[in-house]
């Protein structure tokens, strides 16, 4: 949780270094850039005859994606690797990593891709300056979301660390907001150790809604510990605090207001 972060740089020096994420998007650092193109999604509509593996890795719930999925209209083509979530707790649903004008959202989905034009796999790419591209979707409460439920309904099968379950394929684009052309773009880092400063971030401006029940399931369904642990530890507050953002700009594809 947010308490443990202070210790990260000792073991993982990059966590105390430059270009760290997440950040707060506020007026002073935003700059409109007319050259930002909407992303092009290839292979995101995955057949239900295929399956994704969903796993509890002890600090998040993660779903491995099809290597046929990729995104374009970035400096390179990036191939999908996995998606995972960050969230708060049932008493304080402020679990997004990125914030907008200081405001937290309830949770945040990250879809992680690696530069497949230059690197053979995500392990080779993750410590390279142009290695990764992550899409971030901000989640808030509102109407029930049937698309997110395709993942959330399986949480009870990955209650404990190292448990996995198969999730039938579906169109991953359903997890993204309608207005794909409005986003924040900046160069940052992984938000978990080793915090490599190698991520080209695209954070969509438009949040997605999930129901209060769905959020509660996310906040309460899982544990960081293995099933036989005598002292189970709830998986909550797995977001990193906001990082300093000096002498840098975030480019935006939309006009403020």
Q: Give the pLDDT confidence of 65-95 residue by residue, as tens digits.
A: 999 999 999 999 999 999 999 999 999 999 9
d(CA 33, CA 181): 12
Query: Per-domain residue ranges for the chain?
Result: 4-252
Q: Residue 245: is its pLDDT beyond 80? A: yes
The domain defined by 4-252 carries CATH number 1.10.3720.10: no
Would you say 124 and 118 are in contact if contact means Cβ atoms under 8 Å apart? Answer: no
- pLDDT, position 246: 80
Q: What is the pLDDT of residue 247?
A: 85
Q: Is 154 a catalytic residue?
A: no
* pLDDT confidence bin for 239, thresholds 50/70/90: very high
pLDDT grade for 4, boundaries at 50, 70 and 90:
confident
Digit-coded pLDDT (tens) for 42-56 = 999 999 999 999 999
- Residue in the structure block whose two tokens are 């510990």: 225
Q: What is the mean pLDDT of the chain?
A: 97
Examine the pLDDT at 213 and tell me if it is beyond 70.
yes
- Give one DSSP letter per residue of 106-163, joined into a string: SEEEEEEEEETTT-SSHHHHTTSTT-EEEEEEEEEESS--HHHHHHHTTGGGG-STT-
Distance from C-alpha of 160 to C-alpha of 26, rounded to nearest angstrom: 38
At residue 256 the predicted structure's pLDDT band, cuts being 50, 70 and 90, is: confident
> What's the mean pLDDT in 138-159?
99
> Which residue in 26, 59, 84, 86 is the catalytic one?
59
pTM: 0.97
- Is residue 74 within 8 A of residue 87, CB to CB? The reply is no
pLDDT of residue 68: 98
Task: Answer yes or no: are the C-beta atoms of 200 and 131 closer than 8 Å.
Answer: no
State how far the Cα of 114 lies from the Cα of 130, in Å rounded to an integer: 9
pLDDT tier, 3 (very low <50, low <70, confident <90, very high otherwise)? low
């Amino acid at each position: 949780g947010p308490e443990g972060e202070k210790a990260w740089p000792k073991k993982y020096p990059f966590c105390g270094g430059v270009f760290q994420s997440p950040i707060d998007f506020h007026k002073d650092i935003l700059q409109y850039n007319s050259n930002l193109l909407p992303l092009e999604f290839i292979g995101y509509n995955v057949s239900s005859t295929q399956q994704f593996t969903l796993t509890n890795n002890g600090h998040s719930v993660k779903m491995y994606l099809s290597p046929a999925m990729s995104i374009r209209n970035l400096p390179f083509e990036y191939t999908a690797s996995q998606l995972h979530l960050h969230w708060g707790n049932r008493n304080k649903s402020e679990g997004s990593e990125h914030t907008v004008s200081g405001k937290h959202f309830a949770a945040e989905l990250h879809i992680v891709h690696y530069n497949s034009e230059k690197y053979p796999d995500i392990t080779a790419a993750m410590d390279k300056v142009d290695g990764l591209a992550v899409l971030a979707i901000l989640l808030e409460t509102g109407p029930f979301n049937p698309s997110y439920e395709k993942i959330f309904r399986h949480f009870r099968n990955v209650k404990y660390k190292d448990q996995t379950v198969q999730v039938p394929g579906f169109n991953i684009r359903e997890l993204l907001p309608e207005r794909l052309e409005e986003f924040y773009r900046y160069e940052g880092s992984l938000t978990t150790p080793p915090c490599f400063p190698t991520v080209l971030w695209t954070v969509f401006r438009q949040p997605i809604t999930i129901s209060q029940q769905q959020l509660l399931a996310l906040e309460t369904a899982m544990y960081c510990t293995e099933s036989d642990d005598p002292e189970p530890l709830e998986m909550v507050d797995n977001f990193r605090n906001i990082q300093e953002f000096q002498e840098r700009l975030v480019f935006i594809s939309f006009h403020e207001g």
